Structures are given as C-alpha cells and as structure tokens.
Copies of this chain bind each other. A is one copy, B any other.
Amino acid sequence: MVRIVAKFGGTSVADIERIREAAKRVKTEHDRGNQVVVVVSAMAGVTNQMVSLTDQMSSMFDAREYDVIVSIGEQSNAGLMALALQNLGIPARSWMGWQIPIHTDGIHGKARITGIETDELERRLESGEVAVVSGFQGLGPDNRITTLGRGGSDLTAVALAGALKADSCDIYSDVNGIYTCDPRIVEKAQKLSAITFEEMLEMSSLGSKVLQTRSVELAMNHGVKIQVRSAFSDEPGTFVVNEDEIVEQQIVSGISDSIDEAKITLLRVADRPGIAAGIFGPLADASINVDMIVQNVSEDGMTDLTFTVGKADLNAAAGLLESNKEDIGYGELIRDPDVVKISVVGVGMRSHAGVAQKMFQTLADAKINIKVISTSEIKVSVLIDEKHREQAVRALHTAYGLDGD
C-alpha cells in the first residue's frame, strides 16, 4: 500500500471538464489500491478575481477579511472534485482547512502551517476514502481562515504529505517536469528525471515558477519526495528528492533565467562605515528585496555601488534613494531595467572546480558583457543585458553538455 498526495494546480482544475480529467488520474491511483489525498487549487483566475475585488474595496485591507474573500475558490473546487470522484464510484469527501484542521500561525495572508491533525484523515484513508482538501487555506489561532500566500496550495500538499508520511507528493500542473532550461528559449532543453531539493530551491527562487519556494524548503526539511508532472499526460515527470537518491548526478543540472530584475547603480558613494546600512535600510523598511550587490574597488575614498531589485520595485527603490540623496551622499543614480539574470545551478559544483570559470569564458567567447556576479554553493548567477538573454542561455546550455537530441 502506497500513500500519495496529489495536488492539482489552477489550470488543471480550470473547469468542469478538467476536474473530471483530474479525477480520472486520481481513480487510476485509487484503483491500484493506493491511499490518495487530493489537494485542489482554485479554478485558474478565480483567486486573482477575488484579490482584485478586495483591492477595489480597500487598498489598506484587513488581512483577516482578505483571507475570507480569496479562499473561496479552493473551497468550491474541493466540493466539485469530491463530486467528480463520487461520479467515478470513488468514496470521497471535501475538507476545508478549518475542518481538518490545518493549524497555522496568525499571520493572515502569509500564514505558516504549525500543525495538522491527521487522525480522522488517516482513519478514512485506511477505509478507502479519498480526502479532497482545499489548498492554500488553514485555521489561525483566532479561529479564522488564514491563507498561505500565493502558490500556497503547493505548501498544503507538501505539509499534508509530511504529516501523513506519504510516499509521494505529486504536483500536477500544465508543466510536465523540470527542464535543463526554458524550453521556449532552447529547443534542445531536456526534461530532468530528477533534481535535488537544493537545486529546485535555487531554480524556484531564480524565477522558475513550477513550485513555490517555501514548499520546496518544507519538502526538504521533511524529506517529502515531490514529483512535478503533467495533468494532461501519463508520462512521468521530474522527481525532486534528496541528493543521495540521484544515481547519476550532473555537475550542472540546469540554466535558469529571470527577467524580473532591475539594476540600480549609485556613482561616487562615500566609502565609509555604515554606508551600506544607510542605503539598504530604507529599502528594507519599504519591504523592497535587494538581490545581487557589487561594490567596486574604492578609489580616493569614493566607490560605486550596484545592486538589483525586482523590476516592479525599481521606481519605488530609486525614488526612495533619490529622496535620501543628501543623507546617503552619492553623485548619481543610474537605473537599468533592461537586464536579465542567468544562473547555472548544480549540486555537483560543490565537488567540481571550474564551473564558474566555464560560464565566464562561454559568455566572453560570445562577446556578452557581465555586469554583476553572485555565487552560492550550488549556483553561479550573472547579470547581463536583456538583449543577450537567448544567446547566453543557448551558449551555456551547450557548454555544460545539456543539449538533447
């Protein structure tokens, strides 16, 4: 007997027909004698619609009411999925977050799961009933509905898989797996059969929208084996697992690119202690995330500082810095939204030297100028002109031997 959590994303439960198709996949697992928990998202678009209504009503809204409003799409889809399964002769019932309950902290809009009561679910799973759980929602300490942040249904699925000690957490969506790079850019991109949690984390945070970052962290911490697979085909997807479960580990698993970055350069900043805090403090206070940071070698007590923020935050960040120009003390601020961050990711680089060097050489050979570099244990990222995006990804994909047939 195998226990599976199967999560269906918004496009795979976007209408009655697709919910029926998803239910058939669940039936296949159930017919094999497997215990199945289904986690459903809202129909694609529904949650955005509710967020928009909330924004129209009130720009500074009470997050407790926001959660009441935006969680309804998962509720109705859980009911519809339960009906679809019943139509196929499978005993099934829907579960709201508050019914299980999935306990969370009280941070409405971005709650964290603090515990899941599984006794009743387990009893019913063992009796052959399929549990259909509304994703994205839980119950706060105030006995009110909480939501887990965008992409939170992934988190629901992984947390349930962890609490129920499930053998697999299958994430069904319109994406059939994790690729060595964006297949829309590189025709020779290959689907990976497996990837490590760490690599997936880097890919998620670098812009690959397949899995919510926090859900990958949670899976890593609880050893939940994830499979990213298509809701529209039977082929196996990509497993996201611990490093020791991957037999043939590539040095580099993939090339990720993100155009959600923008670059800000401050010229002629006084190079004195506390200057970085003076610059980044106001940005942090305004909840603007800063990603890559480079400080040039200081000359005559002055330095240039370059960093990246989310493209959506560029104007807010630049505005803040300009209004604090006197306090900070710098010569000029240059904005550049036309950049792309290209990253090479692979746990193999821990034990192999020369990965970064190959990246720099490959870009140099292609006459692509690198503006900023940042590295982590399993990743090298560079910021380049957006116009070189496709050329860079293709060249790197080839250089690291990732091209398929």
Contacts and interface: CB of A to CB of B under 8 A. Distances in A.
Contact of A79 (B69, B75, B79): B69
Interface string A81-101: 011101100000110101100
A98 B64 CA distance: 16
Contacts of A65: 79-80, 82-83, 86, 93-94
Interface string A69-81: 1001101101110
Contact of A16 (B57, B61, B78): B57
Nearest to A64: B93
B53 A99 contact: no
Contacts of A69: 75-76, 79-80
A127 interface: no
B87 A68 contact: no
A72 B43 CA distance: 14
A68 B78 contact: yes
A76 B57 CA distance: 12
Task: Kindly state the interface size class of chain A when it binds its partner.
Answer: 35 or more
Contacts of A96: 68, 145
A50 B76 contact: yes
Contact of A54 (B61, B62, B72, B83): B83
Given A75-B68, A75-B72, A99-B143, A80 B94 contact: no
Given A75-B75, A76-B50, A99-B144, A86 B58 contact: yes
A130 to B, nearest CB: 13
Interface in A125-179: 143-145
Interface string A18-32: 011000000000000
Interface in A47-62: 50, 53-54, 56-58, 61-62
A197 interface: no
Contact of A53 (B16, B57, B86): B16
A330 interface: no
B54 A80 contact: yes
A239 interface: no
Contacts of A84: 57-58
Given A76-B69, A76-B72, A99-B143, A83 B58 contact: yes
A16 B52 CA distance: 11
A129 to B, nearest CB: 13
Contacts of A16: 53, 56-57
The 10 A-B residue pairs with the shortest CB-CB distance in the complex, in nearest-first order: A68-B79, A69-B79, A72-B72, A65-B79, A58-B83, A69-B76, A57-B83, A65-B82, A16-B56, A72-B76
